Amino acid sequence: MSEKFDELVKIMEILRSEKGCPWDRVQTHDTLKRYLLEEAYELIEAIENKDSKAMKEELGDLLLQIVFHSEIAKQNSNFDINDVIQTIIQKMIRRHPHVFAEADFKTPEEVLAQWDERKKEEGKLHESILDGIPLALPALLRAYKIQSRVSKVGFDWDNAQGVVEKIKEEVKEVEEAIACQEKNRIEEEIGDLLFSIVNLARFLKIDPEAALRKTNRKFEKRFKKLEKIAKQKGKNLKDMTLQEMDSLWNEIKKTT
């Protein structure tokens, strides 16, 4: 395994060399950000599809991004792939004292509680418990992490019904904002509503990102079937009334 990994690192060194690939040579940490995100999401899709073959490929693509960034850093005299590996080895040992030292944690909750303590020791958490949550995270995931952090100090709902009532309150405020036709206020109230819905998902131990992805896929599947049925009937969706499409949609919902 080490030989294969070393071969991958060597390939990237060649690609970034003067005799290498013109595209690879000009890349920077910034220009590669979009590819890093794309590869991560493609891996998530493969996982959700339970596609082992695709997972293998996407894990490789993601690994390539790590090697790529490490090679750029090496050429900039910052660090190399060995430093990256050594850093994560040290971190994993440090953050698992119940495995590699004498600490005794029996439950996942106990492990997570001490995880934040280790982050404080590492300087990852400073004055606020919200420090260290990346601004670049997708808004849905960042909302989830913010809510999870504050819940650890007791800033949380007593039960799910309380969150449901908050959602109802936010819906009313959205309706009021729409009635006033104030775009900035509408945007703010919709943001509050989304934040509350994420809170309900978190409280019920549902991953809101995963839930929304499932709904997206379900909608896509149903809409493609709607397009197919319309085509079979010799119709174009643009020429159909909303009532006609809605009628077909309700039939499709019964079977998907």
192: Cβ–Cβ under 8 A, 6 or more apart, which residues?
170, 173
Using a 10 angstrom Cβ sphere, with 0-12 exposed, 13-18 middle and 19 or more buried, the burial of residue 234 is: exposed
Q: Are 125 and 116 in contact (CB under 8 A)?
A: yes
Calculate ∠ Cα 91-97-101, nearest 5°: 120
Confidence of residue 69 (pLDDT cuts 50, 70, 90): very high
Nearest to 64 by CA among 32, 17, 18, 26: 32
3-79 maps to CATH 1.10.287.1080: yes
Q: Are 170 and 192 in contact (CB under 8 A)?
A: yes
- What number of other Cβ atoms are within 10 A of residue 236's Cβ? 10
Cα–Cα distance between 252 and 256 in angstroms, integer? 6
Confidence of residue 190 (pLDDT cuts 50, 70, 90): very high
Cα–Cα distance between 253 and 237 in angstroms, integer? 18
pLDDT at 195 over 90: yes
**CA 196 to mean position of chain CA atoms:** 18
Cα–Cα distance between 141 and 149 in angstroms, integer? 12
Cα–Cα distance between 148 and 146 in angstroms, integer? 5
pLDDT of residue 1: 59
Q: Are 160 and 204 in contact (CB under 8 A)?
A: yes
List, for residues 17-40, the tens digit of each pLDDT value. Answer: 999 999 999 999 999 999 999 999
Nearest to 141 by CA among 214, 149, 59: 149
pLDDT of residue 126: 66
Judge whether 3-79 and 147-205 match in fold: yes
Cα–Cα distance between 103 and 97 in angstroms, integer? 5
List, for residues 70-117, the tens digit of each pLDDT value. Answer: 999 999 999 999 999 999 999 999 888 888 988 888 888 788 777 767
pLDDT of residue 112: 76
Cα–Cα distance between 101 and 198 in angstroms, integer? 37
Query: DSSP secondary-structure letter at 133?
Result: -
**Whole-number percent of the chain with pLDDT over 90:** 78
pLDDT of residue 105: 84
Question: In the CATH scheme, what is the code of domain 147-205?
Answer: 1.10.287.1080
Which of left, alpha, beta for 181 (phi over 0: left; psi -120 to 50: alpha)? Answer: left
Cα–Cα distance between 206 and 190 in angstroms, integer? 21
Q: Tokens representing 65?
A: 């991004």
Q: Which residue has tokens 């819940």?
A: 151
Domain residue extents for the chain: 3-79, 147-205, 210-254
